């Protein structure tokens, strides 16, 4: 019966630790969905520029789109001049005729304050990607208005000039991590040692 008294401090300890082990994934920037879609054939894709005023570490981004026959998508982050590919990853999506936010796999990338980046997508099959018009800014990220980018060659993408629209783009931060942070482990370990010592002293009385 005496052990029941230790359940409250233990629960309080876990309440402090668990949130840092399972952070919620949050959309910090959402441009669109907009007025229409742009059709892109295989090896052709659009992108959207974003200027950064607050250094931000992101963990995923998505485009409002669909792949009628299914496709392998390549998500890309380019520098402000579109001359250097800074990040890319690929994923396969099933055939779909319905527009939705199609999200990259989790990663970690830091956007530096004072810089501009282009978020792009290109596929090995036909895709339809949403676009809009209008200014948008959120959480220190601002869309470069009415000036989308274009890319060619799925295997080795390169910049192919610009267009006159804003590509529907969503950027995320704070995704869940499969492993707890070192600080959380240290807190949990210290707390459990303290509780064990208290239980031992209590039982010896």
Look at residue 14 and tell me whether its pLDDT is greater than 60.
Answer: no
56 and 114 part of one domain: yes
Across 21-37, average pLDDT: 82
186 and 166 part of one domain: no
Q: Report d(CA 4, CA 50) in Å as an integer.
A: 54
pLDDT of residue 35: 81
144 and 104 part of one domain: yes
28 and 17 part of one domain: no
**Looking only at Cα atoms, what is the longest distance across the chain?**
79
163 and 122 part of one domain: yes
132 and 185 part of one domain: no
16 and 66 part of one domain: no
Across 100-125, average pLDDT: 98
Q: Report d(CA 174, CA 60) in Å as an integer.
A: 9
Number of domains in the chain: 2
Beta bridge partners of 100: 65
Across 30-41, average pLDDT: 94
Task: Cite the beta strand spans of 41-162 per DSSP E.
Answer: 44-52, 56-58, 60-66, 71-79, 85-93, 100-103, 109-111, 116-123, 127-132, 137-138, 141-143, 149-152, 158-162
Look at residue 31 and tell me whether its pLDDT is greater than 60.
Answer: yes
pLDDT band at 188 (very low <50, low <70, confident <90, very high): very low
Is residue 74 within 8 Å of residue 154, measured between CB atoms? yes
98 and 194 part of one domain: no
170 and 116 part of one domain: yes
Burial 137-155 (b: 16+ CB within 10 A, else e): eeeebbbbeeebbbbeebe
Q: What are phi and psi of 119, to 5 degrees?
A: -100, 120
Residue 179 gets the label, from left (phi > 0), alpha (psi -120 to 50) or beta, of beta
168 and 185 part of one domain: no
Is residue 157 within 8 Å of residue 151, measured between CB atoms? yes
pLDDT of residue 174: 86
List the domain range (segments joined by +) for residue 203.
Answer: 1-22+179-205
Q: Tell me: the pLDDT tens digits for 125-164?
A: 999 999 998 889 999 999 999 999 999 999 999 999 999 9
Residue of 93 and 204 predicted with greater confidence = 93
Supply angle C-alpha 114, 80, 151, rounded to 5.
Answer: 155
Is residue 121 within 8 Å of residue 38, measured between CB atoms? no
In the chain, % of residues over pLDDT 90: 69
């Amino acid at each position: 019966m005496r052990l029941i008294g230790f359940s409250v401090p233990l629960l309080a300890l876990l309440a402090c630790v668990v949130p840092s082990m399972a952070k919620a994934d949050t959309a910090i920037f959402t441009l669109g969905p907009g007025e229409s879609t742009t059709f892109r054939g295989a090896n052709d894709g659009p992108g959207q520029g974003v200027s950064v005023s607050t250094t931000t570490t992101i963990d995923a981004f998505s485009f409002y789109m669909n792949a009628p026959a299914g496709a392998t998508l390549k998500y890309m982050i380019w520098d402000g001049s579109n001359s250097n590919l800074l990040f890319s990853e690929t994923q396969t999506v099933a055939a779909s005729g319905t527009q939705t936010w199609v999200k990259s796999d989790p990663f970690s990338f830091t956007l530096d304050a004072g810089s501009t980046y282009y978020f792009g997508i290109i596929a090995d099959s036909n895709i339809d990607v949403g676009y809009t018009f209008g200014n948008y800014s959120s959480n220190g990220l601002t869309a470069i208005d009415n000036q989308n980018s274009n890319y060619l060659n799925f295997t080795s993408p390169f910049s192919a000039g610009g267009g006159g629209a804003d590509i529907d783009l969503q950027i995320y931060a704070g995704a869940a991590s499969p492993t707890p942070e070192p600080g959380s482990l240290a807190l949990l370990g210290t707390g459990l040692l303290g509780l064990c010592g208290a239980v031992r002293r209590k039982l010896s009385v």
